[in-house]
Chains A and B, each alone.
Chain A
Amino acid sequence: MSPDQLTALLNTALSEHLAGKIPGKELMQLERLSGGANNETWRLTWGGTPMILRRRPFSADSVDQLEGNILGLSLVDEAAVIQLATSTSVPVPDIHAVFDASHPIGEAFLMGFIPGESIPQKWLVDDTYEVARSRLAFQCGEALGRIHSIDCSLLPANIGPTTLDKRFAAAQKRLHAFGDISPVMQFGLNWLIDHAPTEAPCVLLHGDFRTGNLLVDEQGLAGVLDWELTHQGPAEEDLGYLCANVWRFGHLQNPVGGFGGYDDLIAGYASTAGWTPELSTIRYWEIFAALSWGLVCQTMGALWHSGHGDVERAAVARRRSEAELDILLLIEEWGNA
């Protein structure tokens, strides 16, 4: 859809949805932000109020055949979870309008714009964010503790509890469906199955809580974005995911997202969750996160083959090698620990 078409559709829809809530007559400054291989992200202003539109450029039906739908929730469900999170003190944007797949705009939602820096390559290194970085691991722990306390009975029906065995089976099914092309991915899954931790109660997980999805200002955590992979699972999964090598942006010496240490993350988590996670279990989930990233890359390759996506998506398929490398490194470290 061209920016002009989208502008026209949004003008009609927003006049209706935002009437009496946010003053404005006409959409201004619509701009596609780069990044985001699944969903489009657009910035716009309405009567001087900056907003963000998230839109899925293809119908959800077209990816139904991909087992486990690693592309995540519908944007409608994602918006519902963000709205639930606003009941905690986790910083999330306000949801202004939600459009389902039958709307001419397509599946999309409109949310508030939170000021802050979203580009990790900036906030991970700029002096401006030095204080923020020193606080961030603790703050991320706090935020995750709060997210995990959200009452799962309030979730959309699509976000149900699961078990490790079901997760393993879904991963195995995807490896087969994607052609069994990687002995390293299979080796990693076998290892995860053989070293599974004791089954723990399910909590609501953000599911994609990583450096690239955080908004940071000079005080630290300003926003938690991109809830499309939210699901239920054991709490340590979110903690391990944040520590995965692939999301450290090259700062391997700082295991928490490239900016912090395990101790601060665990202490922050304990302060809001009321219990202290084990480091070894967090590290198990780092390996799981590596496998998941590899599966995301394979999904991107499969989607590209089915005609969805541009050269970026084709290129992301090759980033599976990052996941494979980390799987081997981490399993080796586990054995030597």
Chain B
Amino acid sequence: MEEIANLFNGFAVVLQPFNIMVMVVGILLGVIIGVLPGLGGANGVAILLPLTFSMSPTSAIIMLSCIYWGALFGGAITSVLFNIPGEPWSVATTFDGHPMAQKGKAGEALTAAFTSSFVGALFAVIMITLVAPLVAAFALRFGPAEKFGVYFLAFCSFIGMSKEPPFKTVAAMMIGFALASVGLDEMTGQLRLTFGFEKLLTGFDFLIAVIGLFGIGEILLTMEEGLSFKGRSAKINSRVVFQTWAQLPRYWMTSLRSCIIGCWMGVTPAGATPASFMSYGIAKRASKDGHKFGTGEIEGVVAPETAAHAAGTSALLPMLALGVPGSPTAAVLLGGLLIWGLQPGPMLFVEQKEFVWGLIASMYLGNVVGLLIVLTCVPLLAAILRIPFSIIAPVILVFCAIGAYTVHNSTFDVMLMMVFGVFGYLLKKCNYPLAPMVLAIVLGNAAEESFRQSLLASQGSLTIFWSNWLVGSIMALGLIALFWPLISQALTRVRPRPVTT
């Protein structure tokens, strides 16, 4: 019951006029970011992070998380109307969303997409409200070894679940760790891996890496694909909206399944993109209209959108409760917390009640506001996409540069951003995943610290990670996640397959 009281206090914080304004601005910016190719949730939040330095942490996190919600909503618009996924997690939405638009049912497709996004997010927020305090309370008992276990689990599930080749994931992740360790070693106060460059003293800031890898890299990829945007126009009026809403309850089963898939994939750091694909695939297999998927089935829009939003939202649960972000955007938000002087993790629920519950309350309200905004602004947002890329691209570049500069007021960072951008483009081309690298840059120092602290306690023996049932089971889960592809292969081989002819 204490949670309910806390939540209402949270609503009181969010309903202050300034915070409501911040929320609307955040959602609008987020939707625009989601619509524009080359600007995604993670680097959009990273670029705008410096603007929030002058705000109170609560207003700042409301604004940034609303940008995130907006970006999640915005991705659907481009998928349906232009067949261009604005965000990776809306790729699956194009499969049925764009055919619907071609049949002249763009309005219905968009309404279905937005509404199911909303449902997915709401499900995840309710889950966060109920589960996060419990997880946080449990995590208060964690020592360094357990903390390292949680990081280990997070990174192992990345390797086990990513669709990229596992060794490429390992390589990308470890490069992230290596970059994180450049600069001052916090435990011994010694400089390392700087090779005499003064500029590297403070190490690589992950914000620069995010802006470069995701922002610049994405622009380069978009450039390569050529730049013809041919879109369908959409009309959304209240009649279409209500008609679509009347159809949606039929798909409650798909919706519920997608919510659960989304939450699961979001909490384990697999993220929104695989969640949307998985949910689409399962819905296709489970639905009796499965063979019609891909020709413009409304169910094929509901499934990936619900899962993507549920995953995107629930990615904040481990960030808040454990200090381990479930997605690159959550990682940037976590970086924001550190900059505002808040220590993410279980203590947050004890020491910063107003902040945590303000954030959770803003998730409820932000998604309602977001739904209203996207339903009313679709024509306007589609117009943004009609601006040619030769104008959009340099403007995005300028914003990336401004974002990179404002992190430390350093022009060296702007150059570094460019290097990361080209590097990110090459990695993407060679099929290396970027998300684990960013997560490793963010968490590198914390993971290293907990690892070394545990080793100090055990005098250098690795057995400390198996010394009690708690850390032992976390590590075992991690290993299962790591070798999951092999395990599931073995399982299907052991189980006799039903004969199909």
Are A and B bound to each other?
Answer: no
By a beta-carbon cutoff of 8 Å, the part of chain B in contact with chain A is none
